[in-house]
Amino acid sequence: MDLLDKLNWRYATKIFDATKEVSNEELNFLKEAIRLSVSSYGLQMYRVLIIENMEIRKELRKASWDQAQITDASHLFIFCNYTVHHGQHVDNYIQRIMDTQDNLDAKGLQRYGEFIKSDLANKTSQELDSWAEKQTYLALNNLIVACADRQIDACPMEGFDKQAYNRILGLDEIGLNASVIAPVGYRSSKDETQKRRKVRKSVQELFETI
């Protein structure tokens, strides 16, 4: 299957086969795909929680309108944006560049870091929260495409109580916010959704060349 075939194959899985688990090898592939995601300035201002613990997932299911994917999927990915210490994250990023790449202009990099900090400081708290949450969706997309590549099923979801997730997982205390989630596993043969034709706008409706 080429990429377009795989993207046509995938769908937002409604019923997972609870008896099937994603292997550690496949899980590591998905992690690496997320790690290589694009992000604004390259900051990766988020952390991804992978929930295996079933007791925790049962609590999270209650905060997700009792949607069965939360507990029936093999793993639950929770994309969390950072809410505090943005300047420190910029400093850490600049240091990672210096530790990774050779023959760099240290002073120039420091100026670049200050520019990023200034840009973030000019945003209102609401704008900063919106910007940070958007970064998690870029990483989520890499997960979705990587899952399709390996014919692993996923269901990106916004239907959950973020405040409840933050409380259950203790995220507020560590400066994180649950932004978007994705149960990952393998579709059940009982999921009739997989038999439906994919509905998308036509190329003519969606694109305009100027």
Which pLDDT score is estimated for 13? 98
- Distinct helix (H) and strand (E) counts, the chain: 9, 4
Three-state SS at 127: helix
Which pLDDT score is estimated for 191? 97
Smallest CA-to-CA distance from 101 within 170, 176, 42, 32 is with: 42
Residue 1: band (very low, low, confident or very high) from pLDDT cuts 50, 70, 90: confident
Instruction: Tell how far CA 141 is from the center of its chain.
Output: 7
Compute the half-sphere exposure of residue 197: CA atoms within 13 Å on the CB side of its CA: 3
Smallest CA-to-CA distance from 81 within 113, 120, 111 is with: 120
Which pLDDT score is estimated for 127? 96
Are 177 and 162 in contact by the 8 Å Cβ rule? The answer is yes
Residue 105: band (very low, low, confident or very high) from pLDDT cuts 50, 70, 90: very high
Note the pLDDT tens digit of each residue in 20-42: 999 999 999 999 999 999 999 99
Give me the amino acid identity at 93: Y
Average pLDDT over residues 162-187: 98
Which pLDDT score is estimated for 54? 98
Per the prediction, the chain carries an average pLDDT of 97
Residue ranges and CATH numbers for the domains of the chain are 3-83+128-206 (3.40.109.10)
Smallest CA-to-CA distance from 70 within 62, 61, 81 is with: 61
Note the pLDDT tens digit of each residue in 114-166: 999 999 999 999 999 999 999 999 999 999 999 999 999 999 999 999 999 99
Are 12 and 156 in contact by the 8 Å Cβ rule? The answer is yes
Which pLDDT score is estimated for 152? 98
Three-state SS at 202: coil
Percentage of the chain beyond pLDDT 90 is 99
**Residue ranges of E strands in 52-200:** 75-82, 153-154, 176-185
Which pLDDT score is estimated for 210? 97
